[in-house]
Structure 1
Amino acid sequence: VERSLFYRMFLSVLHVCLRLRWITIMVLIAITLIAYASFGLVKQGFFPPSNAPIFFIHYWGPQDQDNRQTDQQLHKVEQYIMANPLVDSVTSYVGRGADRFTLTYAPQARNESYGLLLIRVADKDDIETLSQALMADISLLDLNADFYLERMQFGPGGGAKLAARFSGSDASVLRDLAQQAERVMRADGNLVDIRHNWRDKGFAINGHFDSFNAGVSGITRSDFNDTIQYASNGLKLGQVQQGDYTYPIKAKMSGLEDSAINALLNSQVWSSQQRVYVPFQQVSKGVELVSEEVLVHRRNRLRTITVNADPGANDTAGKALTRIKPHIEAIVLPDGYQLEWGGEYESAGEAQAALGQGLPAGFLLMFIISVLLFGKVRQPLIIWLIVPMAVVGVVAGLLATDMPFGFMSLLGFLSLFGMLIKNAIVLIEEIDLQVEESGDIRQSIIEATLSRIRPVMLAAITTILGMAPLLFDRFFADMAVTIMGGLAFATVLTLIAVPVLYSMLFKVSFNK
């Protein structure tokens, strides 16, 4: 039968590879090693930003700011954002985050100085330029506040993509460690929204309770504290309910012309035992204004401060972490203190660990099935020798398209193994059948390979074309590139590497 030009060219290449099988194997091994070495050049990610036309702006005022001030400031920011023609709507939340309207959103805990702006735009492609322009402008509307941008994610959300957690017992030591980490992040130059979650310290009045004189006067510590509250923030007497809302009733010293400290020094303390008023200075060793921690987070019952940051434009969390991780881990930790990495690094690690728990058993089951399918060892060995080589097409595809290797890419990479094994099984089974019929193993290897060109290539081409529409989907794009690039190279592996490995393991010479 007269074969086409393509078949004749492929046959010539196949003959050369079979005659020089050791060189062919060495070239394939070298290419595979280069691909694994080049994997470090591939961007690392987890889940891409959502294609929903929504993004968030987090507002953090001074820690001692109350709801009314936060509401006033957010109202100004909201009016400014709504004046932009690219914005469809703005929803603001004061003192808390939004209700959890999707699983990928993690609401912020209640805090009077916190506000959230949920912004919807007409076109999702405008989010990048619009958000950067808004962040530059609204920061001038409240110079005492911090604004942080957040994009909706397809995967687990909430918080920054980079997070370094320091845990220990002493708050001042933890703050010092956090400041060192912040200096490292700022020195990087490509990170944005650098902050820690303990915020600023707040001011508190320390009345230095004199237990001896207070005991003589019949004043308890509760009486003493009530006086301080009455002269400063207000003493809560009860609450009133209006509809579904409850409001506190507070009594506060009126006509405060002096500072709160002077007003407190000149106040009277009610003795609940002797039923008389006693001068405050009689039961106090002195009053001073001190700074103290207002917002302390704990993790596993340990005080934990988290330094957060986000990668800048055209940067990924994986690359940013690679740059700063050695420098932050070089910070000397006192005894009893520890450093943990959170953010996208932790989320990706947990997801990959959960996925990896079933991989050994899955691969073992696949190997057992392939052995039972052929009833021999050498044929399954050929199949599993070419599986690691699939990474060549994956790395080439991701580098060519400049896409990150994320969680969806990992799923595509694992599914690629099944496609590669299927093609190898089809070819090896055809070789075995022709060997049984003709008895000429050399001719069977060549003829079986030629006869499987069309089905193997058609299966690869149809799969690649079927994945092509997913290239324009933000969620599946990296998975599509992984499968398309890996399958394109896997076709070459099936038609070249399988016959070469078969001739090697079965000791078939093509030198003559």
Structure 2
Amino acid sequence: MGGGAQRFTLTYSPEDRYASYAQLIVETDDKATQHDRMADVEQVLKRDHSDIDYKIAPLEVGPAPKAKLEARFYGSDPAVLRQLGDQVEAMFRDTPNMTSVRTSWRNRVQAIEPVFLEDTARRLGVTREDLASTLALSTSGSQVGIYRDGSDLIPIVARAIPEQRHDVDNLGSLNVWSAEQNRYITADQVISDIITQVADPLIMRRNRERMLAVYGEPDPLSGMTAASVLAEIRPRVEALDLPAGYRLEWGGEYETAGEAQSGLFASLPLGIVMMFILTVVLFNNFRQPLAIWSLVPLTIIGVVGALLLTGMPFSFMALLGTLSLIGMVIKNAIVLVEEINVQLPLHQDRYHAVVRAAVSRVRPVAMAALTTMLGMIPLISDAFFASMAVALIGGLGVATLLTLIVLPVVYCVLYRIRIHPDK
């Protein structure tokens, strides 16, 4: 109550402490029952606690952002930021398959603001800090010590009795200690008025700029991904007419995925160029490496097909699996092209040599791919590596067929090898 649980795993980020926050952790027997338990919890919350904002999400096995969907607004005026946040919050709530819509500044609360008399307080030897500590002691309380109970540290808070807390009419009669005069004076001597207003309990900043974030989550029971929900809501949010000096920034899973992919793709082009140069050096020509590398973009057919059949998203791990396919596809293609080079001097008919090489490489290429695919099967049940395993299995299976069927065709096209040489 009042905050998130302590960090019990590396990928879990505890929530900041708020008086209006509570967290419930539900342990399930296995992953198969996780979906049903989330549905049960949501049903109870909708039926018995319709007046609260809640978020239901499975525990992430990788780094997780504050929210899957996050729209950040930067600016100087808190009122303008709150107005922009209210508009986007309404858009989020109207979007299908989006839940747990909230803002980083939370709901506004009623607050009192005493008008401090600077000159009078200076003569009486009272500072703003003295008045603030007295008001805190009378309302929310002031920590005066810590009690240690085993490994738990329990704060000792001193405050007024319940009947006297939050009594605005009697704030002027509170006694404020004056260290200069070494006596108590009443608060009404340093306060001219008490203003009651609605204020923001939190004003968050990011990189020293005032920032209000609107959070949202894709419904975990709908099967929708954050990317698909963002694609639906993003044009509407970016169509807002922002005042001068205010800007919009997308965070959440969109930002973390972009950071991960930017770091990955920064060195990827250099790696692909080096691999291509190595194949050119290996065969001492360009046409054979072109035939080999022509299979790489075609492997996407297997990756996309496998992810669609299993219903898994194209996550960052699936992207890593897809990139790792490049080396496997190139390896099998090199084996076949090298065999073609061996068979060509042994046959007068070049077409027959290509067919002979493809037939002779069926078993080595298929066995190499099959052993890798079988090794990926245990990872399908793993929550973290499932998408990578599916991408590897689907991509490598299709790539094997492409190596044995499409690669000989491409080779024949590049070298103008015909079925009947006399035609």
**Normalising by the residue count of structure 2, what TM-score does the alignment of the two structures yield?**
0.87
**Aligned partner letter, 1:290:** Q
1:126-168 C-alpha deviation (Å, 9 max, x unpaired): 2222222223324666666433222111211353211222222
Per mean C-alpha deviation after superposition, the further-off stretch among 487-496 and 314-323 is 487-496
Pick from 208, 212, 230 the counterpart of residue 321 of structure 1: 230
Find the partner of 1:369 among 269, 274, 278: 278
Equivalent position of 1:160 in the other structure? 67
- In 2, the alpha carbon distance for the partners of 1:297 and 1:371 equals 55
Aligned to 2:388: 479
**How far apart are the structure 2 equivalents of 1:198 and 1:246?**
27
Per-residue Cα deviation, 1:83-123 (whole angstroms, up to 9, x for no partner): xxxxxxxxxxx333222221111111233332322221234
Say if 2:394 is the partner of 1:488.
Answer: no
1:86 equivalent in structure 2: none
Partner secondary structure for residue 55 of structure 2: strand
Give the letter for the 2:158 counterpart: K
SS of aligned partner of 1:332: coil
Change (3 A) 1:441 1:160: same
What does residue 429 of structure 1 align with? Answer: 338
After TM superposition, the structure 1 stretch with the greater mean CA deviation from structure 2, 419-428 or 277-286, is 277-286
Q: 1:250 is matched with which residue? A: 158
1:188 aligned to 2:95?
yes
Distance 2:132 2:326 in 1: 69
In 2, Cα distance between equivalents of 1:438 and 1:360: 39
CA distance in 2, matches of 1:143, 1:273: 54
* CA 1:499–1:201: 2 relative to 1, 3 Å: same
Q: Distance in 2 between matches of 1:342 and 1:150?
A: 18
Quick check: 1:396–1:485 contact (8 Å CA) kept in 2? yes
Q: Which of 279, 282, 301 matches 1:392?
A: 301
Count of paired positions:
417
Aligned Cα root-mean-square deviation (Å): 2.8
**Measured at CA, do residues 480 and 121 of structure 1 come closer, stay the same or move farther in structure 2, by a change above 3 Å?**
closer
Aligned to 2:114: 207
Code of the residue aligned with 2:201 in structure 1: it is V
> Counterparts of 1:285 and 1:495 in 2: how far apart (Å)?
89
For 1:487 and 1:379, the matched residues in 2 are separated by 21
Please point out which of 145, 151, 160 is paired with 2:58.
151
Write the distance in 2 (CA, Å) between the matches of 1:499 and 1:387: 15
Matched with 1:348 is 257
Which whole-Å CA distance do the structure 2 matches of 1:240 and 1:386 have between them? 67
Gaps of 5+ in 1: 1-93
Which amino acid letter does the alignment assign opposite residue 379 of structure 1? Q
Among 344, 352, 363, which residue is 1:454 paired with?
363
For the pair 1:288 / 2:195, whether they are aligned, the reply is yes
> Which residue of 257, 261, 270 maps to 2:168?
261
TM-fit CA distance, 1:268: 5.5
Checking the alignment, whether the CA contact within 8 Å between 2:112 and 2:197 is kept in structure 1 is yes
1:376-408 CA-to-partner distances (Å, cap 9, x unmatched) read: 222112111221111122222222332211122
Pair 485,208 (structure 1): closer, same or farther in 2 beyond 3 Å: same
CA distance in 1, matches of 2:113, 2:412: 86
Hey, what does 2:414 align to over in structure 1? 505
Contact 1:371 1:377 in 2 (8 A): yes
Instruction: Map Cα deviations across residues 245-300 of structure 1 (whole Å, 9 max, x no partner).
Output: 4644536489639x622102344555544556655444333112222222222211
Written as runs of structure 1 = structure 2, the 5 A alignment for 1:13-412 is 94-138=1-45, 145-157=52-64, 159-215=66-122, 217=124, 219-234=126-141, 238-239=144-145, 241=147, 245=153, 247-248=155-156, 250=158, 252=160, 256=164, 260-267=167-174, 271-274=178-181, 280-312=187-219, 313-412=222-321
Taking a change above 3 Å as real, the CA distance of residues 347 and 241 of structure 1, as seen in their structure-2 partners, is: same
TM normalised by structure 1 equals 0.73
Distance 2:162 2:236 in 1: 54
- Partner Cα separation in structure 2 for residue 425 and residue 276 of structure 1: 92
Q: C-alpha separation between the residues in 1 aligned to 2:40 and 2:207? A: 40
Specify the code of the residue in structure 2 equivalent to 1:156: P
Q: Indicate how the Cα distance of structure 1 residues 260 and 484 shifts in structure 2: closer, same or farther if over 3 A, else same.
A: same
Inter-partner Cα distance in structure 2 for 1:235 and 1:363? 62
CA drift at 1:219: 4.4
Are the aligned partners of 1:97 and 1:109 in contact in 2 as well (CA < 8 Å)? yes
SS state of the match for residue 27, structure 2?
A: strand
Q: Distance between the aligned counterparts of 2:71 and 2:16, measured in 1?
A: 20
Closer/same/farther in 2, CA of residues 459 and 205 from structure 1, 3 Å limit: same
Question: Which one is further off, 500-509 or 385-394?
Answer: 500-509
Equivalent-residue separation in structure 2 for 1:276 and 1:452 (angstroms): 98
Structure 2 unaligned residues grouped into runs of 5+ = none
The CA distance in 2 between the partners of 1:405 and 1:379, in whole Å, is 32
Question: What is the SS of the residue equivalent to 1:482?
Answer: helix
Secondary structure at the aligned position of 2:318 is classed as helix
Identity of matched residues, %: 42
Contact 2:296 2:329 in 1 (8 A): yes
